[in-house]
Amino acid sequence: MPENPTVPRAEIVVDLDAVRHNVGRLREIASAERPVAMMTVVKADGYGHGMLPVARAAREAGAEWLGVATLDEALALRAGGDTGRVLCWLTVPGEDYAAAVAADVDLTAYSVAELDEIAAAVDGTPARVQVKVDTGLSRGGAARADWEAVLSRAAELEAAGTIRFTGLWSHLACADEPAHPANDAQESAFRDALALADRLGLAPEVVHLANSAAAVLRPSARFGLVRCGIASYGLDPAPGHTGDLGLRPAMTVRARLALTKPVGAGAGVSYGHTWVAPEDTTLGVVPVGYADGVLRHAGNAVSVWVDGVQRPVRGRVCMDQLVVDLGGELPPAGTEAVLFGPGDAGEPTAQEWAEACGTISYEIVSRVGGRMRRRHTGEGER
Ligand SMILES: *Cc1c(COP(=O)(O)O)cnc(C)c1O
């Protein structure tokens, strides 16, 4: 039986007005010097925000492109009714490239073998294909020694009418550290790849290098399109380097206390008794745990907002629950506990959680889920 919808045990609330605002704001920032197209990256279920509602909000805010990692994600966008340009960039041999072509998805190829496999799946309509070159991340993308072979093959397939070469792109390793020398080196390598493509007679429809951090901090990396993920969700893409970008965090995670109770000095809390009450206090049981995507590292590290005060998590995060120190207050069971949110009311932010857990906000928001419900506000508005 569904729970009473008015009192969920735990829920993720996603503000689609904030997503629309952020996409518009990022366009303003990235197009300050010259207009560039916007790709909103909605992989990993929209960084935990819900891929389809976020995709709709991004389109409403003018995103010309959506970006996803896997082909399954791209096809899910189509199944959900999205008809705009969609780029996916992480496939393995044997993927259903025919389905991708039929769904008008832009694929990304890293190798000659991948181009050939895509070409073999073409039956009439040419496949839209972009080539990704590795300019120094040493992850996906054609190794420099293979650029010429891959781009030459793309040119042949395009001349044969088998593919349409829709883009050339790469990805930065250190965009969130704007002074890191790898940024200049990668951009320079990318310009070499563009020159090579030009020499081979290729005219990519879009050329792109920048993720959120580079879109905001590195005008020279914007080219014709920027791929914005984390900043679209209102989170800082380069903490310590950005100043106020005017973004609004879209996700709030809240739960209702299952129990509150006093404990005496010396009481050990949660598994392993990694925290022992130094004096008499009161505790609240929050009914979410690591199976709901709350990192176990949050134990003894983060705070949760209860009745207008940030209360520290004590002891280990368990599979289904965690414990907060209410400092002598004894609010009733059912009282709201906000794990993180935009921060406007004084609740912790995903960025604060990330710092406390030794990770990045991306991991905090993309992991949260499990048995929590997700609810969207601002749906269908413009
Ligand atoms: C995830 C991803 C992005 C988005 O990065 P953000 O830092 O979240 O803006 C852009 N490009 C590629 C290739 C990605 O994998």
**What is the reported pLDDT for 238?**
98
CA distance 105 to 322: 43
Atom of ligand 1 nearest to the CA of 175: 7
Give the chain's largest Cα–Cα span. 78
pTM: 0.96
Indicate which residue's Cα is closest to atom 15 of ligand 1.
69
CA distance 111 to 108: 10
CATH number 2.40.37.10 is the correct assignment for the domain at 250-377 = yes
Distance from residue 176's CA to the centre of ligand 1 (Å):
12
- Give strand ranges (E) for the chain: 10-15, 37-41, 65-68, 85-88, 107-109, 127-132, 163-169, 206-210, 225-228, 251-256, 259-263, 268-269, 275-276, 281-286, 303-306, 309-314, 322-325, 336-340, 373-377
Q: Is 46 left (phi over 0), alpha (psi -120 to 50) or beta?
A: left
Task: Give me the helices (H) in 235-380, please.
Answer: 350-357, 361-367
Is residue 248 within 8 Å of 49, Cβ to Cβ?
A: no
Indicate which residue's Cα is closest to atom 6 of ligand 1.
229
Pocket test for ligand 1, best of 190, 222, 227 (most atoms within 8 A of CB): 227
**What is the reported pLDDT for 6?**
64
Atom of ligand 1 nearest to the CA of 132: 13
The answer to whether the annotation marks 372 as part of a ligand binding site is no
Beta carbon of 270 within 6 Å of any ligand 1 atom: no
Domain 31-233 maps to which CATH number in 3.40.1370.10, 3.40.50.720, 3.20.20.10, 3.40.190.170?
Answer: 3.20.20.10
* Domain limits, the chain: 31-233, 250-377
Q: Which residues are identified as catalytic? A: 43, 271
Atom of ligand 1 nearest to the CA of 215: 9
The torsion angle over the Cα atoms of residues 74, 78, 82 and 88, rounded to 10 degrees, is 20
Return phi, psi of residue 158, to 5°. Answer: -70, -40
The answer to whether the annotation marks 78 as part of a ligand binding site is no
Sign for the pseudo-dihedral over CA of 184, 190, 191, 192: positive
How many residues in the chain? 382
Beta carbon of 22 within 6 Å of any ligand 1 atom: no
93, exposed or middle or buried, with CB in 10 Å at 0-12, 13-18, 19+?
exposed
**What is the reported pLDDT for 379?**
81
For 58, the token pair is 């991004």
Distance from residue 199's CA to the centre of ligand 1 (Å):
28
**What is the reported pLDDT for 382?**
45
Q: What are the per-10-residue average pLDDT scores of the chain (382 residues)? A: 64 98 98 97 98 98 98 98 98 97 98 98 96 98 98 98 98 98 98 98 98 98 98 98 96 98 98 98 98 98 97 98 98 97 97 98 97 91 48
